[in-house]
Structure 1
Amino acid sequence: MLKVPCLHTGILSTLSKCGHGDKILIADGNYPLHSNTNDNVERVYLNLTTGLPLVTDVLKVIDQMIAVEKLEVMVPEGGTRPEIFEEFNAIVSSVETLDELGRYEFYEACKAENVKLAIATGEDRIYANVLLTVGVV
């Protein structure tokens, strides 16, 4: 039996193929995963029910498995900063600041060919989407 923080075979397989500069999307339950990711991305639907799992639960596990170089988030119009952004910073200590993108800019970033993994969660907080860039160990 594996003794790693993640046992999901699809996630493990895709992470093992990622290199420096590849990206991973962890999306809230409202994110249109199928229409706003590229055709070759590995889509994992973990959204069991509302609130399970949370984006932060998945982020904690992924952060233990890869080096994270950058975090990009979707910001609402009007400049309000969702509270979950502070949680992202607390979980991923290797990144000091979040790169903030508007909604449509974030959608376009998630359609890029270097986005290799997209994980849907049951997160019900809005704007709780995070795009991680794989770094170097």
Structure 2
Amino acid sequence: MLKGLDPVLGPDLLGTLRAMGHGDDIAIVDTNFPAAAMGRPVIRLDGLPATRVLDAVLSVLPLDDFTPEAAWRMEVVGDAGAEMPIFDEFRRVIVAREGASFRLASLERFAFYERVRKAFAVVVSGETRLYGNILLKKGVVRPD
């Protein structure tokens, strides 16, 4: 255990977040997501909601402010404009950790899968709510 770090950030996840560079993506996905099929390193955090994992990750990972979008959710199949309750929870965590200038963009299901296939890693949460998937683009830590 380390002081000041969220206990959700175990050695595998913390090492992965540290190893990522500016512009790298990381996916936090639900229990239904085909994570192993993506061909990326998989970190399992079974039993934890995706929103809890997102909050822990954003406690140390800056979002990319050089691009217009740095966080994406998967669109609901057959209704791209549909809003699942978890989407608002994702937004609240992003605003709390990164500020209101960041928005939650969306990607069509297969476009989301393609982006995850290029991600640095995939974190499988214990999220059971449908569409509990989010992609994050790492930014830079600016000097104070």
Normalised TM-score (structure 1): 0.87
Map 1:18-29; keep pairs closer than 5 Å: 18-29=20-31
Cα deviation 1:81-108 (Å, max 9, x = unaligned)? 1111111111012253212111111001
The one-letter code of the counterpart of 2:71 is L
Contact kept? 1:46, 1:121, Cα under 8 Å: yes
Name the counterpart of 1:63. 58
Partner of 2:35: 33
Secondary structure at 1:88 match in 2: helix
Cα deviations by residue, 1:4-27 (Å, 9 ceiling, x for unpaired): 114411111111111110111100
Is residue 117 of structure 2 the alignment partner of residue 111 of structure 1?
A: yes
Query: Structure 1 CA distance, aligned partners of 2:2 and 2:120?
Result: 23
Equivalent position amino acid for 1:100 in 2: S
Q: Which ranges of structure 1 fall in alignment gaps of 5 or more residues?
A: none
Aligned counterparts, 1:121-132, within 5 A: 121-132=125-136
Partners in 1 of 2:84 and 2:103 — Cα distance?
14
SS where residue 68 of structure 1 aligns?
coil
Counterpart for residue 17 of structure 1: 19
How much does 1:117 deviate? 1.9
Question: Runs (4+) of structure 1 moved beyond 3 Å?
Answer: none
User: Which sits farther off after the overlay, 69-78 or 94-103?
Assistant: 94-103
User: Structure 2 length normalisation: TM-score?
Assistant: 0.83
The structure in which a higher percent of residues are helix is 2
CA distance in 1, matches of 2:89, 2:140: 23
Supply the distance in 1 between the matched residues of 2:110 and 2:136 (Cα, whole angstroms). 17
SS of equivalent residue, structure 2 residue 31? coil
Q: Which runs of 5+ in 2 are unaligned?
A: 65-69
Q: Secondary structure at the match of 1:132?
A: strand
**How many Å apart are 1:66 and its aligned residue?**
1.0
The answer for the alignment partner of 1:133 in structure 2 is 137
**Match for residue 87 of structure 2?**
85
SS in 1 for 2:84: coil
What's the counterpart of residue 2 of structure 2? 2
